[in-house]
Amino acid sequence: MANDAFPLEAIQEEEPEEELEEWQMTNDPAELKHYRTQAKIIHTKSINQALLAVRMLEDVDTVYRVGLVRGYDIVEKIHRRYVEVCKFDGEELDRESRWGIDISIKHSKAKSQ
C-alpha cells in the first residue's frame, strides 16, 4: 500500500551521447598521423615517468599506471583508425603493423616493471 501513496511513472533517462574526439571525426590521413604522433608522445612520456618512479623506488601502480594505460589505449585507437582510413596494403601495411607492435612491446615492458 505504500506504493499507492506515491504513484510515480517510470522516468526514462536519456543516455548522454558520447562526445567524439577530433581524431574520431576526421578521415584525413595527415591529421590522423599527427594525432597518432601526439598520442605516442604522451604515452612515451608516461612510460618514462613510470620507469623513473620505479628507479626512485616509488610504487608505479599508484603513480602512473592509470595514465600509462589510458595513453596506450588512445595511441592504439588512433593507430587503428589511421591504418583503416589510409587503406594500407603490402609493405606499407607491414610497416604500420610493426609500428603498432613496437608500441605494444614498449607498453608491456613498462607495465611489467
Run means of pLDDT, 10 residues per run, the chain, 113 residues: 52 70 87 89 83 70 70 87 88 89 80 66
The answer to whether 64 and 51 have CB atoms below 8 angstroms apart is no
d(CA 57, CA 49): 12
Burial zone of 85 (CB within 10 Å; 0-12 exposed, 13-18 middle, 19+ buried)? middle
Which pLDDT does position 60 carry in this prediction? 58
Burial zone of 103 (CB within 10 Å; 0-12 exposed, 13-18 middle, 19+ buried)? buried
Encoded amino acid at 86, one letter: C
Threshold 0.75, pTM exceeds? no
Angle at 43 between CA 110 and CA 41, to 5 degrees: 130
